[in-house]
Structure 1
Amino acid sequence: MIEIVCNDRVGRKVRVKALPDDTIGDFKKLLAAQIGTDPTKIILKKGYTVYKDHITLADYEIHNGMNLELYYA
């Protein structure tokens, strides 16, 4: 179980626990349940990389304590 911090740059920081073999789509569903937003409207980025829904957290080398940028479509 890893914990990832998502920051939307407007003052909201959310900590989400997930498994490394969860996909980004699964992670967005966990995040959406915590913040009360539709998971299809969430965009996760790190730098200029936009994370795609079908790839796992481990494949993107997302590890415990990592920060991701949270945007809304």
Structure 2
Amino acid sequence: MTPETTTEREWLRQWIGAGTALAAKRREELLHLSDERALAASEALLSLVTTVVLSPERRRWSGLVDQQLLFHRRPSP
């Protein structure tokens, strides 16, 4: 094995282990999440929306349609 390959495999093994550990931690936290804390977190997240002031133009147009056109544009032959 080359040093790069060994390093890459070790890096991948570390990331897989971290992903597994984080998923287990998330599951554990969700299992012990109280209704009160879930509601408070939801309220805090939703309250952020009301602090953003959108311009009248932004309320009518978000640019999503233009972005989709760019994504689906085919290169010229």
Q: Give yes or no for TM over 0.5.
A: no
| Higher strand residue share | 1
Q: Which has the larger radius of gyration?
A: 2
Greater relative CO (CA pairs within 8 A, separation 6+) = 1
TM range (shorter): under 0.3
